[in-house]
Amino acid sequence: MLDNRGNLFAYLKGAVLNGMPMAKTRILMAVFLSLLLAACDSSQQSGDGGVASITQSVGDSGRWYRTSQVKAGGRIYAQHCTECHGQEGEGAPNWRKPEPDGKYPPPPLNGTGHAWHHPMQLLTKVIKEGSPPDQGKMPPWGDKLNDEEIISIIAWFQSYWPDQIYDAWLRRERQEQAREAQRG
């Protein structure tokens, strides 16, 4: 990676010194930077099962997921999640109010709650690990569901999100990915 980067800047410097027009150099620079980012993403992908860079792709839904994932996710959701989060991810009616034990009822996942504040990696983490036992009542699913199943459930509930909510989530998601890439 560092090697690549070194070569790249040497090349760019060469291009500037050789009098390549600035505009062209800028375009080259942008292309190289996006290649660099892509390289970082794919190295990340091997580390965490692909969760971080999943949203880089565009599926046949026009969003990151494929409609087949939404279908599969809906079936898995109905089996495991409906009893708490509701048939269409509407959550408990009083989800904003803590119960007498101080813990919160199941929130909506259909875009009316704040699930859209969470980037992909955090959504999968919450589903895998559940809430910390002393803080909430979301059970952990990491033993019962694999990454692919969890990701398809996310696709399913995101398919309920209006474009405005989805776009706001995607902006945060991309910011998060850029931060991750910087951290290396």
Binding site for ligand HEC (CB under 6 A): 80-81, 83-85, 104-107, 109, 113-115, 118, 123, 126-127, 131, 135-139, 141, 153
CA distance 174 to 114: 17
Q: How far is the CB of 164 from ligand HEC (least distance, A)?
A: 17
**Which one, 72 or 115, has the nearer CB to ligand HEC?**
115
3/143 with CB nearer ligand HEC: 143
Which residues, at least 6 apart from 67, have a Cβ–Cβ distance to it below 8 Å?
59, 60, 61
Separation of alpha carbons 53 and 174, rounded Å: 9
Least spacing, CB of residue 64 vs ligand HEC, in Å: 16
Q: How far is the CB of 41 from ligand HEC (least distance, A)?
A: 23
Query: Residue 173 CB, nearest distance to ligand HEC (Å)?
Result: 14
Output 100 or 184, the one with its CB closest to ligand HEC: 100
- Residue 126 main-chain phi, psi, to 5 deg: -60, -45
Apex CA 73: angle with CA 67 and CA 77, to 5°?
A: 150
Q: Give one word for 18, left, alpha or beta, with left for phi > 0 and alpha for psi -120 to 50.
A: alpha
